[in-house]
Amino acid sequence: MTPEQQSSQLRVAFVGQSVYFRQCSLEQPAEGVQPTFVDFRAGAPPLPLLAKLQELDPDLVLVFRPEIIPHALFDQLRAVTVGYLTEPLPRDGGRKHRDLRQRLYWLGQVDPGNFDRVISFDPLIAETAANVLPVWRSLALPVADSLFMALRRRSEPARLLFVGRSTAHREKLLAPVKQAYPIAHFGHGLFGTQLYGVLAAADVQLNLHNHPYPSFENRVCSAMAAGHLVISEPLSPSHGLGAGRHYLEVDTPQSLRALVDELSGDADAYADVQAAGRREAENFRASLVYPQLMRDALADVAAGPGRRAGAGS
């Protein structure tokens, strides 16, 4: 490696709860970015996190769910800091579900002074989030490179997978399918090699919202990356994915059951959709997304105001 290449290396620390966000991070060096993942969750002692970040001395720190970082904790860091909003929030003009009101409360706990820039997984919540802190960019959560698999022909019958905690809304949609077909349902806790194994053992993955309000779940992208045919409730925003083109859309228990019935008798049904989804997943690959995003953030802070004088210098 030449001195010029060494000088262009960026040290980036990803901070978040491993079980949820390691699969959304950059795991291996890519295009001059040297990543490290630091596990941290809400309520954990903050000083060990600060000590670890000071030891790593990264150029940039990216925090999944910035509301988990205590007030003023990052004041002592030289790094540019980026918060990534990963949770749905109320949208203007829409009904405010109790779950969304709770998430908005937690967003209100963010110390804006901890972060130079903020990214949102959903551009449609940016206006709401701006009441607490401005959103610099919006993009879907990337998918770790380790979750990408080759496209493969589905089994017959299809091996069904749903990953997500049980809620009344989800169980209502799943009930007719669970009565008729075996389905692997994992509430939470999958990551690393265990997650990879579960994805490798399935070929059709369902995506259902927590509650009856619109959103875009990052499991859609990871399922497509794993080569699965994705069946989902309507996605909002779409992040470039088209119903009937990259995934199959359902909105009732009956339509979900009917679609699974159709798939159960034909391993090649919607193979074109499955293949298109796998191709589209490349746009969410972590090693493609993060290097440019990190450099854009550093350049933007260098060119404009940061959270403190000299941030990013």
How many angstroms separate the CA atoms of 4 and 22, rounded?
A: 30
- What's CA 17's distance to the chain center, in Å? 12
- What confidence tier does 90 reach under pLDDT thresholds 50, 70, 90? confident
The CATH number, out of the four listed (2.60.120.10, 3.40.50.2000, 3.40.50.2300, 3.40.50.1240), of the domain defined by the range 146-283: 3.40.50.2000
Q: Where does the pLDDT of residue 94 fall: very low under 50, low under 70, confident under 90, or very high at 90 and above?
A: low
Q: Where are the domains of the chain?
A: 3-142+286-303, 146-283
Q: 104-126 pLDDT, tens per residue?
A: 888 988 999 999 999 999 999 99
Which backbone phi and psi does 82 adopt, to 5 degrees? -125, 130
- Do 84 and 62 contact (CB within 8 A), yes or no? yes
- Let me know: does 279 contact 247? Beta carbons within 8 Å: no
- CATH number at 3-142+286-303: 3.40.50.2000
Q: Which of 161-165, 188-192, 278-282, 303-307 tops mean pLDDT?
A: 278-282
Structure confidence at residue 101 as a pLDDT band (50, 70, 90): confident
The one-letter amino acid at 171 = E
pLDDT digits (tens, 9 = 90+) for 208-239: 999 998 899 999 999 999 999 999 999 999 99
What is the per-residue pLDDT across 287-304, written as a single tens digit (0 to 9) for each?
999 999 999 999 999 998
Check: CB of residue 61 under 8 Å from CB of residue 35. Answer: no
Cα distance between residue 166 and residue 188, in whole Å: 10
Q: How far is CA 244 from the centre of its chain?
A: 22
Contact 289, 139 (CB under 8 A): yes
Amino acid at 100: L
Question: Which phi and psi angles does 165 have, rounded to 5°?
Answer: -65, 155
